[in-house]
Amino acid sequence: MKGALYDAGASPLERFGLLRMRRRAWAAVPASGLGLEIGAGTGTAFPFHPPGARVVATDVSPGMLAHARGKPGVAGTLLVVCDAERLPFRGGIFDWAAETLAFCQVPDPEAALREIARVSRPRAPLVMLEHVRPAGWLGGVADLVSRVTVPLWGEHFDRSPDVPLARAGFEVERRAWLWRDVFLLLECLGPGRKPT
Ligand SMILES: C[S@@+](CC[C@H](N)C(=O)[O-])C[C@H]1O[C@@H](n2cnc3c(N)ncnc32)[C@H](O)[C@@H]1O
């Protein structure tokens, strides 16, 4: 039910331009290797997974992932219910990671980014598509809206991933605004191996 509601709500946005943005984000993901999708939700991104890649799609919500099971592109994707802040994987096994519109809900983005860095090989690519807090007076509106949406369903409109990315040791290689100064595509590289 939760997944069906999400898809119904997102559908106008997908037509408005979100689908185009997703396509652009997933085109930045490496074409092969073992990939990790964070906060996969109802599996809207599955058709964009690189055909040659094996992908583990994760989400904290069993309801959302249950809905993802029926999505096109699910074949060959392993679905795992888990919290991005505590990933149930060994260190260094993923070749890349990607997320779309999940870090606006993850309670502690820095903790999740540290987990992504832990389970990924050194300097592995991370692609993020997020809506961020806009500049100017719209930023104030985003702060006000977040006061309502965060308690209701954990959605932040008042965030930017830059500080948590830097704190978790990621380097932003490329950034592109996909819609105004709200939808941001970030292509990052994870931290190198820590000296032993
Ligand atoms: C706005 S939806 C985006 C879903 C999908 N990525 C998309 O682009 O349509 C945010 C998703 O993040 C998931 N999420 C929130 N907190 C999470 C966490 N701590 N760990 C993993 N997933 C989380 C939610 O369950 C939800 O499915």
Condensed to tens digits (0 to 9), the pLDDT of residues 116-135 reads: 999 999 999 999 999 999 99
Q: Tell me, what's the pLDDT at 14? A: 87
What is the fold of 2-189? Rossmann fold (3.40.50)
> Could you tell me the end-to-end alpha-carbon distance of the chain, in angstroms, rounded to an integer?
48
Return d(Cα 168, Cα 111) in angstroms, integer. 8
State whether the beta carbon of 129 lies less than 6 angstroms from ligand 1: no
Cβ-contact 117, 57 below 8 angstroms = no
**Structure pTM?**
0.95
Task: Report the separation in Å between the CA atom of 195 and the middle of ligand 1, taken as the mean of its atom positions.
Answer: 33
Name the pLDDT band for 1 (thresholds 50, 70, 90): low
Determine the residue of 2, 101, 103, 115 to mutate for testing ligand 1's pocket, defined as the one with the most ligand atoms within 8 A of the Cβ atom: 101
Element spanning 36, H or E: strand 34-38
Assess whether pLDDT exceeds 60 at residue 196.
no
Is the C-beta atom of 115 inside 6 A of ligand 1?
A: no
Give yes or no for residue 44 having a pLDDT over 70.
Answer: yes
Task: Name the residue among 56, 97, 61, 98 with its Cα closest to residue 76.
Answer: 56
Name the residue of 60, 80, 116 to mutate for ligand 1: max ligand atoms within 8 A of Cβ.
60
pLDDT band at 15 (very low <50, low <70, confident <90, very high): confident
- One-letter amino acid at 102 equals A
Rounded Cα gap, residues 159 and 164, in angstroms: 10
**Of 57-66, 146-155, 186-195, which range is least confident?**
186-195
The residue ranking higher by pLDDT, 22 or 4, is 22
